[in-house]
Chains A and B, each alone.
Chain A
Amino acid sequence: MVHAVTEFAIETKGLTRNFGSFCALDHLNLQIPSQCIFGLLGPNGAGKTTLIKMLTTLLAPSSGAATVAGFDVVSQPVEVRRRIGYVPQMLSADGALTAIENLTLSASLYGLRGAVRKQRIDDALQFSGLMAAADHLVKTYSGGMIRRLEIAQATLHQPEILVLDEPTIGLDPVARRTVWDRLKALKASTGMTILITTHDMEEADFLCDELAILHQGQLGVIGAPAMLKQQIGPEATLSDVFVAHSGVTLEEGGHYSDIRLTRGTAKRLG
Chain B
Amino acid sequence: MQNRYVYSTLAIANTEIRKLMRDPTELFSRAVQPVLWLAIFGQVFSRVKGIPIGGLAYLDFMAPGILAQSILFTSIFYGIAIIWERDMGIVHKLLVTPAPRVTLVLGKALAAGARGLVQAIVVYLVAIALHIGIRWDLDAMLCVAAAVFLGACIFSTFSLMIACLVKTREKFMGIGQVLTMPLFFASNAIYPIEIMPHWLKLIAIMNPLTYLVDVLRHFMITGGHSNYPVVISFGVMVTVFLVLLGVASRLYPGLVR
| A119 CB within 8 Å of chain B | no
**Chain B 13-35 residues near chain A, CB threshold 8 A:** 15, 18-19, 22-23
Question: Please, which residue of chain B has its CB at the minimum distance from the CB of A113?
Answer: B7
Instruction: Indicate if the CB atoms of A108 and B98 lie closer than 8 Å.
Output: no
Selected from B7, B10, B22, B89, the residue in CB contact (under 8 A) with A91 is B89
Within 8 Å by CB of A86, from B11, B22, B93, lies B93
**Which positions in A face B, CB cutoff 8 Å?**
53, 56-59, 78, 81-82, 84-92, 94, 96-97, 101, 104-106, 108-111, 113, 153-154, 264
Within the complex, which residue of A53, A94, A105, A264 is in contact with B11, where a contact is CB–CB below 8 Å? A105
Q: Contacts A90-B87, A96-B23 hold; do A110 and B93 have CB atoms under 8 A apart?
A: no
Q: CB of B88 within 8 A of chain A?
A: yes
Query: How many Å from the CB of B257 to the closest CB on chain A?
Result: 5
Asked if A53 and B88 make an inter-chain contact with CB atoms under 8 angstroms apart, the answer reads: no
Separation in Å of the A51 CB from the closest CB of chain B?
Answer: 14
Distance to closest chain B CB from A192 (angstroms): 16
Interchain CB contact under 8 A, A86 and B88: no
Q: How large is the interface on B (under 10, 10 to 19, 20 to 34, 35 or more residues)?
A: 20 to 34
**Contact of A109 with B11 at beta-carbon distance under 8 Å, contacts A53-B257, A78-B98, A101-B18 already known:** yes
Nearest chain A CB to B249's CB is how many angstroms away?
A: 15
A1 → B minimal CB distance (Å): 11
Q: Any chain A CB within 8 A of the CB of B171? A: no
A92 lies within 8 A of B90 (CB): yes
The reply to whether the CB of B253 lies closer than 8 angstroms to some CB of chain A is yes
Interface centre among B8, B10, B11, B94 (most CB of A within 10 A): B11
**Once the chains bind, are B96 and A81 in contact (CB under 8 Å)?**
yes
Within 8 A of A (CB), among B136-181: none
CA distance A165 to B104 in the complex (A): 23
A105–B16 Cα distance when bound, in Å, is: 10
Residues of A within 8 Å of B257, CB to CB, are: 53, 58-59
Q: A82-B98, A113-B7 are in contact. Are A58 and B253 (CB under 8 A)?
A: yes
Instruction: Specify which chain B residues have a CB less than 8 angstroms from the CB of A90 in the assembled complex.
Output: 87-89, 92
B230 at the interface (CB under 8 A from A): no
